[in-house]
Structure 1
Amino acid sequence: MAVARAGTRIQIWLDHGTTPIIDAADTAYAAGRFGVNGYAGNTLTQHLAIT
């Protein structure tokens, strides 16, 4: 899965697809923070880039 955000636009791709399965605009939050959470189990994250 790949997720991209630019301005108010959010796009999500699945299985290395060329067309996003979700392509939406969200104007609810102009700024914020990014978080990754694992709870009560094992968590593995690979190739995570936040820019």
Structure 2
Amino acid sequence: MTFEDYLQLDAEDWVRLGLPEGRCAFVDGEIVELPPEFGVSNAIANKL
């Protein structure tokens, strides 16, 4: 998958392709699920 393909994905594509529902990132042509935030990162995210 190219980055341009990734940018074109909509919610229906995510479901159809069986992609993760949580936070994700595009890495080396693949969509990978990110671990949940914790510690300082979580505290910062909650304040935002």
Q: TM-score, normalised by structure 2?
A: 0.24
Bigger fraction of residues in helix? 2
Bigger relative contact order, structure 1 or 2 (CA pairs below 8 A, ≥6 apart) = 2
Bigger fraction of residues in strand? 1
Q: TM-score, normalised by structure 1?
A: 0.23
